[in-house]
Amino acid sequence: MNTQQEHVLGAVDERDIRFIRLWFTDIAGQLKSVMMSPSELEGAFEEGAGFDGSSIEGFSRISESDTLLLPDPSTFQLLPFDEEDPDLRTARMFCDIVMPDGNPSQADPRQILRRQAKKAADVGFTCQASPEIEFYLLKEQGFPLEMAPTEFGGYFDQAAHTPVPKFRRRAMRALEDVGIATEFSHHEAAPGQQEIDLRHADVLAMADHVMTFRYLIKAVAMRDGVRATFLPKPFQAHPGSAMHTHFSLFEGDNNAFHDPDDEFSLSDTARQFIAGVLTHAPEISAVTNQWVNSYKRLQFGNEAPTAATWGASNRSALVRVPMYRLDKEVSRRVEVRSLDSAANPYLAFAGVLAAGLKGIAEGYELGDPAEDDVTSLTRRERRAMGYRDLPMSLDQALREMEKSEFMAEVLGEHVFEFFLRSKWDEWHGYTEQITGVEIRSALEL
């Protein structure tokens, strides 16, 4: 038993914690949980907690169903909301998935991201990530009941007569209570749309934070009598919800992306990283934007990227280089704007990091920055200017992924094959529907 595990066992006893939630994520990014009593925790640390992996879609065949959860003691946190009832006091830990022989499960999204973080470490880098997470707050109204925005605020509005500002404060407090540092929160551009930005952290820890964020945001919303959704584009008339994520690589305490002599303070490493993301953007779109609905945001959302471009302060580009505080080394980062708020963060971050690392390893060259509003350009105009389009549907994204040896290596054969099968099923289920739009437009046929 290591010191972290001993610390957790001591904290469970000192705080009189009654339940332990073991969390993990399936391939689609759905949070899974099993509850155990504290008396079982020491055994889980030493031997793992067994579960039926064949019952988790994509994890294992029924003949290989015995699977183990290994709690990661570094993720131990007391969950909020139960302080007033000591009999329900609960803590959680994220888990790694392993097979009975001790080898990591090929289907564990956390392990996929850890592999890329290790590849970065092998060449001297640690990756930091900082997402800006958008979501909608909804309320029930009308008959038949439908979901509508909670209010009609706009970008940065200070609403005095709605519960939203108090919601954001409660949400930020809940996040801080579980060790997730926040930077800013504000009303986004659309009615009911909110944004909370997380302070940068190690990329694997940040993926854990994103999963916890979704859980807590929905819990706080429910306590306020409303609902939160991370659907990329829940309303036709309003912008979609993104998860713009800032990435940086550090060599020890030094930011490997910073060069004070460059026009944009970008080092060669940063430029190669950006070039890698742009080069492989079509291949990784299926994991950065994994739902049918994701492409409603990319096609019709404000400031959503439509082409593999980069720009300085250009919010229509796929990769934006923030121009604040150019002389401050620690602030040099690149913002990848394709990710949406419903992506599996482990797979999405792994895809971006792997693409950037490949750009560095193979010395990809970065072209000139885009200065146009790329979103407003027609497809023909984008092509004339040399911009390469991103996939505009899940169908196109899956076709790009299918032929990608790069993504097969990033995800591993098991997840690569299952992800494609699962997402093709989702696409076919979507396309076989007969919609009201089709019926209304064909009444005279």
pTM over 0.85: yes
| H/E element, 379 | helix 379-384
Tens of pLDDT along the chain (445 residues)?
Answer: 789 999 999 999 999 999 999 999 999 999 999 999 999 999 999 989 887 666 666 565 433 456 899 999 999 999 998 666 778 899 999 999 998 888 898 899 999 999 999 999 999 999 999 999 999 999 887 655 588 888 877 666 666 556 666 888 999 999 999 999 999 988 887 899 999 999 999 999 999 999 999 999 999 999 988 999 999 999 999 999 999 999 999 999 999 999 999 999 999 999 999 999 999 999 999 999 999 999 999 988 678 999 999 999 888 899 999 887 777 888 899 999 999 999 999 999 999 999 999 999 999 999 999 888 888 888 888 888 888 999 999 999 999 999 999 999 999 999 999 999 999 999 999 999 998 888 888 766 6
Query: Is the CATH code 3.10.20.440 the one for domain 114-436?
Result: no
Return the pLDDT at 64: 45
Return the CATH number of the domain spanning residue range 3-103: 3.10.20.70
Tokens of 171: 């949400």
Domain ranges of the chain: 3-103, 114-436
The residues, any chain, with a CB within 8 Å of residue 406's CB and separated by 6 or more, are 280, 283, 354, 355, 358
- In the chain, the N- to C-terminal Cα span, in Å, equals 73
* 3-state SS track over 20-34: EEEEEECCCCCEEEE
What backbone phi and psi angles, to 5 degrees, belong to 186?
A: -165, 165
